[in-house]
């Protein structure tokens, strides 16, 4: 084969691989970009250097977030001062918190446990310790009288914060 | 000494650029070693006393390495070689050339003395509302001055290459390094003005008289990120293309074979220069872009891959079947190509929209782009520095020390940055003064820090070898200093000072 032929074949193979990768990324992202309609809304507000959360029923939390396993949630993420980034590494949740904007990200936690929430966008002095805790709880039986919504999963059962994958 | 400082001759200005960039490399490297040593263990090690100092060091390290090591070094080699390669006596405008150089130390002084703390992105609203002055203002004006210097240098290169080229020498017969410099210079002219405007807007926002990026005055912080990345995504290629050009210059010489395909080298340069402008917002997937925007920028990003792959293919095909001499310059080039492959593979991962939400703003990204700037680009530059050493000094460096330097740097860089990819997947954010004391993070940070120490030893040996050999090295055979049977650059060019 001549010079040109080898190069065309090579470039063709590279382009074919890229098209395959791009198409599969497009397929996955199309799914991730559209939250289910029944998802519950959780407002997430970042400020130097802590997180506050507000549930649909008006319940507010500071530095801790309690979610129920198997329920889809949409986070409405914003900031009060500078840019932050709302990140739950174990659940691949990452979205910038930008003042003056509301960004959306959805997740359906499928394993109960305790997870790390952190800031992933540089935001000043205490950026490195702008953290919060996510507690994913077992779902509550619908008909039962037990309304112990706020009881977190025991810490002994919870996975290590980072290395749960 | 004074003769060189006040000279406008292209080899003197080139030498000044190279010396200045090497000073910046050493200082930026020392800052990086301080950062890595501080992160060796969780908690404060006392190397860097507090987060504020850490953020200032981190910002100065980044700004310094990009604008005071990579850009000036490429200009320095360009100054040395472009007039020789196009057969003209000097640059088109020698005085403008010296002016462009002397803006660099001014910007350097502002960046170093200010030590701003808002990272090299200077992202608002932090940079306009919370970043302490006068460091922030000094950074803004320092970058402004460096940008003007780059634009003046780029105009000079374009005119020199297109108008001062010897009439008997067609552009398609010049070295690929000439093409690399031409393409880079045009990209500088297109890219830099956008950020120059953004810097002025940032400054007036800091004064409080405007609110372009201030949400409480109706501005949009995301607009800044678009302006920033429209300049600084192409800037990646502005750094990389000269290094690739240098590799095209060295690989055929040390393989003792002509370039596999000159045309595809030129084509890939031009294609890279164009698609570099189509992918800036892939840095911004997580700022709340909609699905269509993300898709467009993913396609634009992936479009840069075939051209980069053509370069790598061309390098390998040139070496294939050649009588390769692995002297120091060639070793650096080959090591750079290997690291380029890792960096490119990581880049394809980042470009995929869903995967970017795993890697974005984590240590993965730190590892990824350092494999570019310290792998591909710095390795190409250091290889070229060794190859030019006889031309600059008339003496040879120690080949044995050069090879040890290469292995220290290659092993060091691989250990530091491949480990950082894994750290990112474990969720460690970038730009952190401290991390959570849990196991995979601690050991990974320690491996990365040991790599930094190995690379630091390599950098120290590099400087020691070059400084010692410049004064006491063996006189070089100026016709073929590397004994590869190839024509060396015309050393008589250095003689006339004016």
pLDDT (tens digit per residue) in B285-336: 999 898 999 999 999 999 999 999 999 999 999 999 899 999 999 999 999 9
The Cα–Cα gap between B402 and B482 comes to 13
List CB contacts (< 8 A) between A126 and chain B: 51
- Cβ distance of B126 and A83 shorter than 8 Å: yes
User: What per-residue confidence (pLDDT) applies to B206?
Assistant: 94
What average pLDDT score do residues B384-399 get? 93
Residue from the list A15, A30, A121 with its beta carbon closest to the beta carbon of B291 = A30
Q: How far is A95 from chain B (nearest CA, A)?
A: 5
A160 confidence band (pLDDT: 50, 70, 90):
very low
Chain A residues touching residue B360 (CB < 8 angstroms):
94, 120
Where does the pLDDT of residue A45 fall: very low under 50, low under 70, confident under 90, or very high at 90 and above? very high
Pick the range with the lowest mean pLDDT from A116-125, B42-51, B144-153.
Answer: B42-51
Which pLDDT does position B497 carry in this prediction? 55
- At A33 the pLDDT is 85
| B298–A22 CB contact, under 8 Å | yes
Cβ–Cβ below 8 Å for A89 and B426: yes
Tell me whether residues A82 and B361 touch, CB distance under 8 A: no
Residues B342-348: what's their mean pLDDT?
A: 92
Average pLDDT, whole number, for chain A?
84
Q: Which CATH class is domain B2-494?
A: mainly alpha
Q: What is the mean pLDDT of residues B385-414?
A: 95
Q: At what angle do helices B378-393 and B439-472 cross, to 10 degrees?
A: 10
Interface of B with A in 121-150 (CB under 8 A): 121, 123, 125-126, 129-130
The pLDDT of A62-72, averaged and rounded, is: 92
Integer Cα distance of B97 and B15 in angstroms = 12
Asked if the C-beta of B42 comes within 8 angstroms of chain A's C-beta atoms, the answer is no
Q: What pLDDT does residue B346 have?
A: 92
pTM: 0.92
Give CATH superfamily name and number for A40-137: Cupredoxins -  blue copper proteins (2.60.40.420)
Residues of B with CB below 8 A from A26's CB?
295, 298, 353
The 8-class DSSP code of residue A62 comes to E
What pLDDT band is residue A141 in, cutting at 50, 70 and 90? low
pLDDT of residue A148 exceeding 50: no
* pLDDT band per the 50, 70, 90 thresholds, residue A120: very high
B148 neighbors B154 (Cβ within 8 angstroms):
no
Residues A94, B353: C-beta atoms closer than 8 Å: no
Instruction: State pLDDT tens for residues B20-29.
Output: 999 999 999 9
Q: Is B109 on the interface with A (CB under 8 A)?
A: no
Chains A–B, number of C-beta pairs less than 8 Å apart: 157
Contact residues for B194 (Cβ-Cβ < 8 A; gap 6+): B227, B230, B231
> What pLDDT does residue B43 have?
87
Range scoring the smallest mean pLDDT among A2-11, A41-50, B195-204, B323-332:
A2-11
| Lowest mean per-residue pLDDT among A120-124, B41-45, B205-209, B235-239 | B41-45
pLDDT of res. A43: 95
A9-42: burial string, b at 16+ Cβ within 10 Å, e else: ebbeebeeebeebbeebbeebeeebebeeebeeb
Does pLDDT of B348 surpass 60? yes
Domain ranges of chain B: 2-494
For residue A118, the model assigns a pLDDT of 94
Interface of B with A in 428-447 (CB under 8 A): 429-436, 438-441
> pLDDT per residue over B75-123, tens digit each?
999 999 999 999 898 899 999 999 999 999 999 999 999 999 999 999 9
Q: How close is the nearest chain B Cα to the Cα of A21, in Å?
A: 8
CA distance linking residue B489 with residue B491, whole number of Å: 6
Question: Nearest CA to CA, how far is B202 from chain A (Å)?
Answer: 15
Give the pLDDT of residue A88. 94
| pLDDT at B495 (0 to 100) | 64
- Range A39-54 average pLDDT: 94
Tokens 């593979």 correspond to B345
Distance from CA of B103 to the nearest CA of A (A): 30
Bridge partners of B232? Answer: none
User: What pLDDT score was predicted for residue B56?
Assistant: 95
* CB A118, CB A131: distance < 8 Å: yes
Segment of B411-420, B435-444, B469-478 carrying the highest mean pLDDT: B411-420
Alpha-carbon distance of B263 to A159, in angstroms, equals 57
Contact across the interface for B436 and A116, Cβ inside 8 Å: yes
Residues with Cβ within 8 Å of B388's Cβ and at least 6 positions away in sequence, in order, are B77, B80, B81, B489
Distance CA A52, CA B493 (A): 67
- Asked if the Cβ–Cβ distance from B126 to A124 is below 8 Å, we say yes
* Range B121-126 average pLDDT: 92
First to last CA, chain A: 48
Q: Considering CB atoms only, which of B286, B362, B434 is closest to A129?
A: B434
| Chain A residue with the nearest C-alpha to that of B354 | A29
Question: Residue B427 is nearest to which of A11, A128, A162, comparing CB atoms?
Answer: A162
Nearest CA among B258, B224, B247 for reference residue B332 = B247
| Average pLDDT score, chain B | 93
State the average pLDDT over residues B476-496. Answer: 81
What per-residue confidence (pLDDT) applies to A155? 40
Q: What is the pLDDT of residue A140?
A: 67
Give the torsion sign (CA, B225, B226, B232, B237): positive
Token pair listed for B110 = 């502002």
């Amino acid at each position: 084969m001549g010079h040109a032929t080898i190069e065309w074949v090579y470039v063709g193979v590279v382009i074919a691989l890229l098209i395959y990768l791009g198409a599969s990324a497009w397929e996955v992202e199309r799914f991730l970009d559209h939250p289910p309609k029944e998802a519950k809304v959780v407002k997430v507000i970042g400020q130097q250097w802590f997180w506050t959360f507000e549930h649909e029923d008006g319940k507010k939390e500071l530095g801790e977030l309690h979610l129920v396993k198997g329920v889809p949630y949409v986070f409405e993420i914003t900031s009060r001062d500078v840019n932050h980034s709302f990140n739950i590494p174990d659940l691949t949740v990452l979205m910038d918190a930008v003042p003056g904007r509301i960004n959306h990200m959805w997740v359906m936690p499928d394993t109960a446990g305790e997870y790390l929430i952190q800031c992933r966008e540089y935001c000043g002095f205490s950026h490195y310790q702008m953290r919060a805790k996510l507690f994913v709880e077992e779902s509550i039986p619908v008909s039962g009288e037990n309304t112990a919504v706020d009881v977190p999963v025991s810490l002994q059962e919870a996975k290590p914060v980072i290395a749960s994958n | 000494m004074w003769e060189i400082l006040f000279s406008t001759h292209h080899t003197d200005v080139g030498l000044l650029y190279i010396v200045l960039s090497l000073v910046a490399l050493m200082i930026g490297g020392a800052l990086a070693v301080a950062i890595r040593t501080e992160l060796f263990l969780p908690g404060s090690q006392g190397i860097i006393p507090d987060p504020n100092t850490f953020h200032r060091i981190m910002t100065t390290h980044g700004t310094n390495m990009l604008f005071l090591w990579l850009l000036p070094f490429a200009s320095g080699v360009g100054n040395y070689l472009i007039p020789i390669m196009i057969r003209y006596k000097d640059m088109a405008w020698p005085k403008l050339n010296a002016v462009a150089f002397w803006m660099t130390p001014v910007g350097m002084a502002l960046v170093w003395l200010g030590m701003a703390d808002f990272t090299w992105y200077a992202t608002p609203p932090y940079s306009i509302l919370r970043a302490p002055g006068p460091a922030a203002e000094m950074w803004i004006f320092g970058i402004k001055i460096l940008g003007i210097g780059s634009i003046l240098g780029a105009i000079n290169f374009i005119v020199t290459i297109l108008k001062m080229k010897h009439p008997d020498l067609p552009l398609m017969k010049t070295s690929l390094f000439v093409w690399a410099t031409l393409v880079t210079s045009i990209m500088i002219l297109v890219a830099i003005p956008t950020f120059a405007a953004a810097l002025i807007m940032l400054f007036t926002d800091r004064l409080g008289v405007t609110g372009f990026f201030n949400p409480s005055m109706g501005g949009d912080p995301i607009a800044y990120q678009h302006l920033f990345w429209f300049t600084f995504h192409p800037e990646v290629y502005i750094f990389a293309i000269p290094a690739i050009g240098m590799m095209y210059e060295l690989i055929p010489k040390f393989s003792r074979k002509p370039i596999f395909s000159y045309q595809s080298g030129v084509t890939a340069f031009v294609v890279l220069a164009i698609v570099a402008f189509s992918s800036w917002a892939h840095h911004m997937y997580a700022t709340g872009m909609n699905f269509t925007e993300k898709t467009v920028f993913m396609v634009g990003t992936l479009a840069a891959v075939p051209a980069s792959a053509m370069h790598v293919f061309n390098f390998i095909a040139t070496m294939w079947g050649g009588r390769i001499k692995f002297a120091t310059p060639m070793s650096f080039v080959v090591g750079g190509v290997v690291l380029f492959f890792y960096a490119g593979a990581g880049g394809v991962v980042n470009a995929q929209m869903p995967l970017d939400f795993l890697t974005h703003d984590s240590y993965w990204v730190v590892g990824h782009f350092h494999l570019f700037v310290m792998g591909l680009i710095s390795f190409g530059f250091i290889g070229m520095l060794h190859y030019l050493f006889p031309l600059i000094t008339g003496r040879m460096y120690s080949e044995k020390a050069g090879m040890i330097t290469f292995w220290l740097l290659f092993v060091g860089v691989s250990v530091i940055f491949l480990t950082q990819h894994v750290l990112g997947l474990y969720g460690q954010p970038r730009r952190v003064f401290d991390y959570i004391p849990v196991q995979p993070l601690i050991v990974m940070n320690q491996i990365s820090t040991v790599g930094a120490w190995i690379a630091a030893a390599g950098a120290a040996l590099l400087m020691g070898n070059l400084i010692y050999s410049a004064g006491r090295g063996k006189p070089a055979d100026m016709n073929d200093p590397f004994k590869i049977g190839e024509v060396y650059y015309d050393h008589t060019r250095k003689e006339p000072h004016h």
